[in-house]
Structure formats: structure tokens, C-alpha cells
């Protein structure tokens, strides 16, 4: 099955709404219809920039998708500082990152919490980008596969097979995020293959073949081609490099390299 690659920029807690507008404008200048026909491009700004970026994308008719970095699983309520999936859907957000390792590590999110978010995002017609990945300690203990498979299984609990088929799972080894270290392309590809195999075993071949699996962790122009040559890598979840429109454009145009 041919899967359209998805290159998504996770801006994390960077860029105010004016800076976000400038970045998207510059990114749009670099990309053309050929790029968009062969790669899906998504940006995930901070909450405060979502409306500004949405307006720009719609007004300039850019073929750039809009994503959010997180959400709460409830529709409304006494959750100070939280943003509901329904609020994001009203802004035409297409993708929501769920379970990023920084959310797990810094904010104590468990697989159960991530699972609730995944199901809430799906219920509002958006696509979760479910993040899974092992710590350096777990990697050194040879537990990469068991950790990743366990996260996949727990975070997809209660999700229908057809919904899984339309999702995105991002393999992001914790030890490679923001460190400048990147998993070797073959290693990254093999673990993305583990993710797909786990889905195939639990949800069937059709769901596994349709599912897009990304790699994330210090992705940059210098390693994008080698990563994208891996059969089970269907795109990347990009952190720091997505804050530079020139670098991110190179990543989005990997098919031209």
C-alpha cells in the first residue's frame, strides 16, 4: 500500500502568533504543488498561535495542515489552563499530538491519560499523532520493543480497528529528543516496523498497512533522506528543525533529494 508521507513540525513552546505567521509564510514560499502532492505538511503551533495560523492558511489557501500539540480529553469543565478537543476542532485543527514524551516525563501523563486523549481526538473528527518511545535506560536494558509495544497496546485500548488505520503513530526514542542524537536510520526503521507489526497482530493487516508511522528525534535536513529510505517510516515528527522554515522545507521536500 502506498502511504502519503506526513512531515509534521512540533514547535513546542516557541514562537508567538506573529512569529508563527512569519514562519508559515516563509514555509509556504518554499513549497509548491509538487511538494504537497507527494508529502503532507503539518505545523503544530502553540495554542496562542493556532487561530492566527488557521486564518493565514485559509486566507492564502496554503496546503499546509494545522495541528495542535496537546488537548484535554474532556469536552468542558473545571480544568484550568486546559484546552478541549472540541475547541481545537472549531479551529479546523486536523491533527493533535498525544502522549509526547515531554508530556509524559514533565507532566506525568500515563498511558491511560494518553488513551483518553486519543479517543477524544478521534471522537471530534481529528487525527491523533500518538507518540511512543523508550528512555535511554530502557534502551540499554534491551527493552525497546517491549516498551513500545506496551505503549501501542495501552494507548489504543478501546479504539476501533478502522480508526487505528487512519491514525499516525510517531516513534520517538526519548533519548533522541532535543539531544542532537538520532537513532541510526536502520534502527529507527526497525522499531517503526515493530510498531506496525504490533498493530497488525492486534488490529489486522489492513489497519497496519494503512497506518502511518513517523520517526521523531533530532530530525534534520542532513538525515531526512536516510530516514525516509526506511520502508516503515512514513514521515517525521520534527522539533527544532521545524522552527527554521528553510530547514523544514528541505525535510518536506525529501523526495527531491
> 3-state DSSP: the chain helix, strand, coil percent, rounded to 5?
50, 15, 35
C-alpha to C-alpha distance for 128 and 90, rounded to whole angstroms:
16
The three cell numbers of residue 142 are 534491551
C-alpha to C-alpha distance for 45 and 83, rounded to whole angstroms:
14
The three cell numbers of residue 151 are 505503549
Residue 34: helix, strand or coil by DSSP? helix
User: What backbone phi and psi angles, to 5 degrees, belong to 254?
Assistant: -55, -30
Residue 140 in contact with residue 101, Cβ under 8 Å? no
For residue range 26-38, what is the model confidence (pLDDT) as tens digits? 999 999 999 999 9
DSSP strand E in 83-219: where? 95-98, 127-132, 168-171, 212-216
The per-residue pLDDT string of the chain (257 residues; one tens digit each, 9 = 90 and over) reads: 589 999 999 999 999 999 999 999 999 999 999 999 999 999 999 999 999 999 999 999 999 999 999 999 999 999 999 999 999 999 999 999 999 999 999 999 999 999 999 999 999 999 999 999 999 899 989 999 999 999 999 999 999 999 999 999 999 998 877 777 778 999 999 999 999 999 999 999 999 999 999 999 889 999 999 999 999 999 999 999 999 999 999 999 987 55
- CATH architecture, range 6-256: Alpha-Beta Barrel (3.20)
For residue range 173-205, what is the model confidence (pLDDT) as tens digits? 988 777 777 789 999 999 999 999 999 999 999
Provide the annotated active-site residues: 100, 172
C-alpha to C-alpha distance for 255 and 257, rounded to whole angstroms:
6
Q: Which of 114, 233, 110 is nearest to 183 (CA)?
A: 233
Residue 10 in contact with residue 100, Cβ under 8 Å? yes
Q: At what angle do helices 111-123 and 144-155 cross, to 10 degrees?
A: 40
Residue 157 in contact with residue 123, Cβ under 8 Å? no
Q: Which of 227, 146, 241, 153 is nearest to 187 (CA)?
A: 227
What percentage of the chain has pLDDT greater than the value 70?
A: 98
Residues 6+ away with beta carbon under 8 Å from 141: none
Residue whose cell numbers read 511538494: 35
Amino acid at each position: 500500500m502506498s502511504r502519503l508521507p506526513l512531515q509534521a513540525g512540533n514547535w513546542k513552546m516557541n514562537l508567538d502568533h506573529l512569529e508563527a505567521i512569519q514562519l508559515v509564510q516563509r514555509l509556504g514560499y518554499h513549497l509548491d504543488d509538487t511538494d504537497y502532492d507527494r508529502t503532507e505538511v503539518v505545523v503544530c503551533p502553540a495554542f496562542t498561535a493556532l487561530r492566527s495560523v488557521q486564518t493565514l492558511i485559509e486566507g492564502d489557501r496554503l496546503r499546509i495542515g494545522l495541528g495542535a500539540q496537546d488537548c484535554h480529553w474532556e469536552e468542558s469543565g473545571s480544568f484550568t489552563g486546559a484546552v478541549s478537543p472540541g475547541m481545537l476542532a472549531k479551529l479546523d485543527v486536523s491533527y493533535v499530538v498525544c502522549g509526547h514524551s515531554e508530556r509524559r516525563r514533565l507532566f506525568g501523563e500515563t498511558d491511560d491519560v494518553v488513551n483518553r486523549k486519543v479517543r477524544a481526538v478521534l471522537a471530534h473528527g481529528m487525527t491523533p499523532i500518538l507518540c511512543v518511545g523508550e528512555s535511554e535506560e530502557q534502551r540499554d536494558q534491551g527493552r525497546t520493543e517491549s516498551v513500545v509495544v506496551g505503549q501501542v497496546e495501552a494507548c489504543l485500548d478501546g479504539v476501533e480497528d478502522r480508526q487505528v488505520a487512519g491514525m499516525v503513530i510517531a516513534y520517538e526514542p526519548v533519548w533522541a529528543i532535543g539531544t542532537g542524537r538520532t537513532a541510526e536510520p536502520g534502527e529507527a526503521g526497525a522499531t517503526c516496523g515493530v510498531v506496525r507489526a504490533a498493530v497488525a497482530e492486534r488490529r489486522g493487516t489492513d489497519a497496519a498497512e494503512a497506518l502511518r508511522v513517523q520517526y521523531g528525534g533530532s530530525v534534520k535536513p542532513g538525515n531526512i533522506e536516510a530516514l525516509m529510505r526506511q520502508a516503515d517510516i512514513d514521515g517525521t515528527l520534527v522539533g527544532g528543525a521545524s522552527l527554521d522554515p528553510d530547514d523544514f522545507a528541505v525535510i518536506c521536500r525529501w523526495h527531491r533529494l
